[in-house]
Amino acid sequence: MGTIAISAQPEDNHEDRRALRKEFYESLSESQKKELENKRELRKEQRKTMHASFTKEQLAIIENEDLSRKGKRKALKLTLSESQKEMHKNHRAIMKDKNEKFKASLSEAQLEQYEQLRKRKHRKERHRKRKD
């Protein structure tokens, strides 16, 4: 009976990211940890506020399990009212400001780790048709 080799590449990558995240978090000072937690809480509050403003049609889009996350986002974007668009814009600006302040508090080594964690995981290559 032969053996089958199974690649653990994705699992290894997941474990590497988890270790990096843990190392990064442990390197933070108490004030930096508090700032990170405040960012997380603010993001939750903003999401809750936005969700509370949704119409029945928008809630139906969110609950539609046939749509991917990207599909839901696309469909929702088309249905947002002006006030919802403004709220989203304000939320993004606030989060960007908080993120810049947080990054400014990091040491060079911490910033490098933070940037590494912020990178997107391997994205699938898009197959685009070439024009000949």
Domain ranges of the chain: 15-113
Q: What is the pLDDT along the chain (132 residues), one digit of tens a residue?
A: 555 545 445 556 788 888 988 998 999 999 999 999 999 999 999 999 999 999 999 999 999 999 999 999 999 999 999 999 999 999 999 999 999 999 999 999 999 999 988 887 655 555 555 554
Distance CA 47, CA 84 (A): 12
Cβ–Cβ < 8 Å for 84, 50: yes
Look up residue 112 and give its two tokens. Answer: 């490098």
What is the residue-wise DSSP string for 15-55? HHHHHHHHHHHHHS-HHHHHHHHHHHHHHHHHHHHHHHT--
Cβ–Cβ < 8 Å for 90, 69: no
* pTM for the whole structure: 0.71
The angle subtended at Cα 102 by Cα 96 and Cα 104, nearest 5°, is 105
Burial class (CB in 10 A: 0-12, 13-18, 19+), 19: exposed
Number of neighbouring beta carbons within 10 Å of residue 5: 5
Residue that is written with structure tokens 């978090």 in the block: 25
